[in-house]
Structure 1
Amino acid sequence: MTKRKMFDVTRYTTRQVAEQVGLELQVALWAAIELRVQQGQEMDYLQVFELSVEWVDGKPQQKVLNKQEQPQQEVSFYVNGVETPKDGVTLWILDSGEYCTMLFPDEY
C-alpha cells in the first residue's frame, strides 16, 4: 500500500472564501501548497495563511505568510496580479484525509 501525499486529494473552497477572496489569490495559495509538497517538505494537515498588504514603489502588494505547527515552519511570499489585496485576513487549508478545504478560521 502506497502512503498518500498530504493535500493530494479533491479540493474545496467554502462559499464564504469564494465570495470574499479573488480566484487569483485562491489559486496562488493552492500552488504554494503544491510547491512545498513537490519539494518533499513535511506538511502539517493544517496550513495557515496570513494575508497582508505591503506597499512597494507606491503600489499595494499581496504578502502571504504560510505557517504550520508540526513541524513548525513559516514561509513568506508575494502574489503578483492580485487585483484587490487582502489585509489582516487569515485563511486555512485543511487536509481531512478525504478532501482538502480552504476556509476562514471562523468557519471551522
Structure 2
Amino acid sequence: MTNRRMFDVPRYATRQVAEQVGLELQLALWAAIDLRAEKGQEMDYLQVFELSVEWVDDEPLQKVLNRQEQPQHEVSFYVDGVETPLDGVTLWVMDSGTYCTMLFPDEY
C-alpha cells in the first residue's frame, strides 16, 4: 500500500458552492491546499477557509484565513482578481480518502 498525499484525489464542489462562490476563488482555495502539500506540510482532512473583505485604497480585497485543528495551523492570504469578494463566509474542504469536497458547513 502506498502513502498518498492528502487532497490528491478527485475534487468536487457542492452545487451551493458552485452557485455562490466564483470559480476564481474556488481555484485559489484549491491552489492554497496544493501549495501546502507541495511544501510537505502535514494537513488535516478538514481545511477551514474563512472569507472576509479588507479594503485597501478604496478597493475590496478578498482575505482568506485557512486553518486546521490537527496539527494546529493558521495562515492568512489575499486572493487577487476576485470580482465579488465574499464577507463572513466559511467554506470547508474535506478529504474523504476517495475524493475531496468543497462545501459550506451547513451542508455537512
Task: Please tell me the TM-score bracket, short chain as reference.
Answer: over 0.9
Q: Percent identity?
A: 82
Correspondence list, 1:30-41, <5 A: 30-41=30-41
Cross-structure match for 2:56: 56
Contiguous gaps of at least 5 residues in structure 2? none
Correspondence list, 1:3-18, <5 A: 3-18=3-18
- Paired residues, number: 108
TM-score by length of 2: 0.99
Q: Structure 1: how far apart are the matches of 2:16 and 2:2? A: 35
Q: Cα deviation per residue 1:27-48 (whole Å; 9 max; x = unaligned)?
A: 0000000000000000000000
What secondary structure sits across from 1:70 in the alignment?
coil
Cross-structure match for 1:86: 86
What secondary structure sits across from 1:27 in the alignment?
helix
Contiguous gaps of at least 5 residues in structure 1? none
Cross-structure match for 1:76: 76
Q: Structure 1: how far apart are the matches of 2:92 and 2:80? A: 20
Q: Cα deviation per residue 1:8-31 (whole Å; 9 max; x = unaligned)?
A: 000000000000000000000000
What secondary structure sits across from 2:55 in the alignment?
strand
| Runs of 4 or more above 3 Å deviation | none
Task: Using the TM superposition, give the Cα deviation of residue 2 of structure 1 relative to its aligned residue in structure 2, in angstroms.
Answer: 1.6
Q: Residue 42 in 1 paired to residue 42 in 2?
A: yes
